[in-house]
A and B are shown apart, each in its own frame.
Chain A
């Protein structure tokens, strides 16, 4: 029988950090992931990780304030305090583990500027910081001896008397279904970006953890807060890091003007992401773009500088647009990138369901509120991954495993999956339904939103849900049946899409990433609160939670 005190689902940065922390706290910890850990999407974080180091004259309160302002005052300030206080030590820990951070002239950790922050406090490894961190965390996972179930897909959470007792999982390589008992489960499955089309997100980012948790009664909070990144490549939607602007790149319209002057005269290109994305979209809509894009101009930075600080994104630009940023500007546009919302947790990663934790992008602690600052996501994963792992390890002490019959559970799950495989082959495949959903979300629940648009998408989602209930799976085999996995993922994505759309419709104001053309102003009197979605008997149900404010009073947000 497979059983673990702490079972972490997802092996990105948050997941591996959680598993290592749980193990360090003496728990029998394991990690389960649908891809090998180093294939996780934490890889894609390019620009860096924020921390206020006191020996550099910075302090955590300034970092906290920038984060809170960036969040448009929707972030919970107690959680933000926890993150910003812990940042320095977390950063040094990562350096000690072996991350090859760029240095300054004295050989100490070097910094770069990043959006929405008044000082340069972003630490980095070239322009592949996420990959550098992820690989080092994997090294530590190997060192820790934590058991790792690689290429296993969690299909459901097993509940008993309202609390978690384990998971069922499909071993992708063999098609075998397993039941794993667990005293605590930490969901670290990342965001749900693929429900938008296009998206910067990797194809594996399908909201699995959010969907799993939602289906057993967990709360999804701030789901309307979807970040559109200002610099993505048209077509594929692949990301070009904010590091480019952090290192001095300009945004220009078709006339060559740096249009950010109009929108953020002080911070210019380094205003918060929501602000820059809106500015770009406004210019594109006004006919000042170039084929639906604006230009990211790095030509003044020089070849040597670009090769040292931005080598990977230069390659990406060449590979995907045919433009070499050393020589010419690269066309970019706002694209779906990150979800601030997620499974509501406290500062130790606990959800409202006993024994279920969440950390990383799938969670909402909430440190990002209405808009996440660049380079705060890596920090979020490490700080709250560690806290969740330690807390779950302690919570599982003295608790016994559930005595459910694994054979029975496996047989039920096998039957459910077999029913899906046995469906007739007619009808639209998951790929078509997903694309239609993605187009609809990107059309109506994007940078600018209206009541009519969101309602249209909600209606379309109902139709897609209906079609999904009989979605066929063409591959009937057991071994590496990704056709089946994609069909299952789509179910999680549709639940997330619905939660996003109804939350966006509910919030009748503009704050952070949510901009309602029909309610263009922020309205603290009525909407300084979190919107929560839970699964009811007849579909999603809405409720509210207050925003925690410690010492920073909401004020007008200008950059």
Chain B
């Protein structure tokens, strides 16, 4: 099978400070993965190509990169399914991080965020002599999260990190959930209060915009965003609902429950709180730009036609 692998290359030592796209036309096996193709290039065609890879079986997490613009593991992506009509596969380093060389991304930020969540079990009660006795279901639930191989595909494609590098990001937050949901972590009831409090701070769990990108690109089915949302529930339940994120969620629910649609004008007000004058003033420039571009939401918020149906739905949910 003939394929052209188009690699975004970057060499910090060359005179050319920018990246270049280089094409490698090669013949590969029908079953070959994108990683197989890259290894073949490295071994047979071009020894100067740098990438990280090791296990070839989606367990070490080394080979996360962008394939045709989307984050994923090269070893878990079939070459035959990645070619465009001209037989081209585009490969570039993981996003949201600097590039060290070629397909090698600088993962320092990634590991720092993992370290930031204090990634180790912190039981507050007494440690038993034998194992902790916990349900199999609780462990299976956690194992679906600990299946995360820290490859960074989710971080590469996270739309929040794209604009705010301080965000903890999907991988670290999913890792955090692995502890907050562990019956052995936290107090005797398995509630990790301290963690939930810290994770609720700015740049934490409430900064996720639920774009679902991390769920889509995760090669291990970890579904980071779903874990983040489950953590929201844990936080509110633990009494950490008095913050922008939780209020934002409440305002969402309230608005839709009342009128059947989002009241975009009042949403930010309710999120930061009506008495929070500095934050409200902070919205002024956005409001002004919206108005001058004709994008200001209507001042009078009307209900949708069949709002009664939605209200009934809410009632049923509450029951």
Contact = CB atoms under 8 A, between A and B. Distances in A.
User: Are A and B associated in one complex?
Assistant: yes
A202 B31 contact: no
Given A98-B182, A109-B131, A203-B53, A142 B136 contact: no
A100 B146 CA distance: 8
Interface in B43-69: 43-44, 46-48, 50-62
Contacts of B189: none
Interface in A219-254: 235-236, 238-239
Interface in B14-64: 29, 31, 33, 36, 39, 42-44, 46-48, 50-62
Interface string B173-212: 0000001001011000000000000000000000000000
B314 interface: no
A256 interface: no
Q: Is the interface of B mostly helix, strand, loop or mixed?
A: loop
A203 B56 contact: yes
Contacts of A300: none
Contacts of A202: 54-56, 60
Given A39-B61, A132-B143, A479-B100, A139 B46 contact: no
B297 interface: no
A520 to B, nearest CB: 35
Interface residues of A, number: 63
A398 interface: no
Nearest to A46: B59
B281 interface: no
B125 interface: no
Given A142-B115, A202-B60, A316-B57, A105 B31 contact: no
Contacts of B76: 319
Contacts of B132: 95-96
Interface residues of B, number: 61
B136 A110 contact: yes
A140 B120 contact: yes
Contact of B54 (A35, A102, A128, A135): A35
Interface stretch (A3-11, A283-291, A469-477): A469-477
Interface string B122-153: 00000101111111100110110011011000
A101 B131 contact: yes
Contact of A480 (B46, B104, B139): B104
Contacts of B31: 235, 320-322
B13 A477 contact: yes
A139 B11 contact: no
Interface string A395-422: 0000000000000000000000000000
Interface of B: 11-13, 29, 31, 33, 36, 39, 42-44, 46-48, 50-62, 76, 78, 100-102, 104, 107, 111, 114-115, 119-121, 127, 129-136, 139-140, 142-143, 146-147, 149-150, 179, 182, 184-185
Given A102-B140, A107-B134, 8 more contacts: A38-B60, A38-B149, A102-B136, A135-B146, A139-B120, A142-B115, A429-B47, A483-B48
11 contacts: A35-B54, A96-B132, A100-B146, A125-B139, A125-B146, A126-B140, A131-B147, A132-B146, A142-B115, A203-B54, A475-B50
Report the 3 A-B pairs with minimum CB-CB distance, sorted nearest first: A474-B47, A98-B121, A431-B43
